[in-house]
Amino acid sequence: MKFNNVARISAALLLSLFACLGFTACSRDYTVGFLYVLNTRSTTDPNGSISEFGIDYQTGALLSLPTTLQTTQGRNPVGIVVSHNQQNVYVINHDDSNLESLLIGTDGKLYPQKTTSLDGIFPTGIAMSADDAYLYVTFTYRKTTATANSGPGGVEVFKMVPRGDGSGGIDLGAPVSSAGVPYFPVGVAPVQVAVGPNISNDGSRTVNPASCVTTPSSCSSFVYVIDQDGTTLANLLVFTRDIGTGAMTPVTGVTVGPTQATGYLSGVTASSVAVAPRGVFVYVTDSASNQIIGYTVGSGGALTAMTNGPFATGSLPVNMTIDPRGTFLYTADQNDNAISSYVINSASGSLSAVSGTAKALTQGTQPTCITIENALGVYMYVTNFLSNNVSGFQLNSTTGVLSKIRNSPYPGVSSPTCAAAIANATHPSAVQSIQ
């Protein structure tokens, strides 16, 4: 019986591999999701590119799609986000200061739709609201008539417009205005943005009033921006997000001035920010001090530091992610070429190292970004910039322990900066996370 089981699994894997190598269409039965990886370099021109992979549902192995290596519409793509309806991908190109949208086909192929020039210069971070209504992009400099690069940074907020043609496509609308300009000022050198859910409630803790559940318009959503202003350690900025208009307003305790902004403690060099799926916990990595600073979210967006934090990481944590269930947090420790794993305490949000193997080596060099597919929520992928590959891990949904996926790391990328995954909704085992 054991031999028969192994034989059946091996046959399924061979069929999946045969299908996805171009001999025939990639079978939906064996593809639980798709992974899109941003490459700094392209093989054909100065712009970047996007590698497209299918995710095998039995092993998490990556299989290159026949359409892989699409050229981006700009140089040095640094940020990617997927709409929550799993139909659209949005990419920011740092060196050309633009934003491009792509439609996802049923076979996982990306179809370029539109490229929009940003009002700000050098975009750094991108995030989508949970209702797919607004897109948020941080940029380093504001355009002025006096000089091309002037003043502190900002956030451009785009109203998203559903097409209505049945494709699931969501187009970029006009930027939301703030005091007569098409952006919202933040501080010096913003590097990342995160958007909390419309309803922040984990059962035991409620950020919004009870009426929010039945009347979504009464909910408060929050936007989190991290700066890298070397003159202050308070580089975590919190804004109330108007669900109807997308507009951002600093919460009490956050000050945005003409040349500087200050908010909550973020350490020496804030490198990434993440919000737990239910919106009640927020975390910031400090790459200079090798730590994570954690907060609980209170009424009006006020943050309270977790009493037993900060939490130690490996060397130079540059990115982090939280699994779709909100149970585990993982950091990419660049100098260690490793991933650190933590359990999130459901009551306090505090972090503790995963028992057993709390650090997993990437088998790659200079990890830059972590993503976890949201179909099964057990396959993790890490982009390795210097070794030009992607590491794959399977996480134990009970313990959080990571184990290397078969044949990891995977080639087919070039100086990758980040990645994003979607669920293949046609796969019978696909269960997308609650947003």
Answer yes or no: are the C-beta atoms of 195 and 130 closer than 8 Å. Answer: yes
Is the pLDDT confidence value at 431 over 60?
no
Measured between alpha carbons, how far is residue 21 from residues 64, 71, 296 in Å?
7, 20, 46
Closest CA to 155 of 199, 194, 116, 198: 194
Whether domain 29-423 has CATH 2.130.10.10: yes
Map residue 109 onto helix, strand or coil: coil
Q: Find the Cα–Cα–Cα–Cα dihedral 214, 430, 382, 237, rounded to 10°.
A: -10
Place of tokens 């070794």: 387
Residue 221: what are its φ and ψ, rounded to 5°? -115, 155
- How far apart are the C-alpha atoms of 381 and 395, rounded to whole Å? 11
Asked if pLDDT for residue 354 goes beyond 80, the answer is: yes
Average pLDDT of every residue of the chain? 86
- pLDDT computed for residue 4 by the predictor: 38
Query: pLDDT digits over 222-271, tens only?
Result: 999 999 999 999 999 999 998 889 999 999 999 999 889 999 999 999 99
Hey, is 365 helix, strand or coil? coil
Confidence (pLDDT) at 207: 65
Closest CA to 52 of 108, 113, 114: 108
Interatomic CA distance for residues 45 and 406, integer angstroms? 33
Instruction: Give the pairing of strands 338-344 and 328-333.
Output: antiparallel
Q: Is the pLDDT of residue 433 over 50?
A: no
Task: Give the residue from 96, 98, 104, 103 showing the smallest Cα distance to 126.
Answer: 98
Q: What token pair was written down for 135?
A: 């897109």
The ranges assigned to domains in the chain are 29-423
347, two tokens: 């009551």
Three-state DSSP at 213 gives helix
For residue 278, what pLDDT band results from cuts at 50, 70 and 90? confident
**Is pLDDT of 16 > 50?**
no
Residue 20: pLDDT above 50?
Answer: no
Average pLDDT over residues 274-288: 95
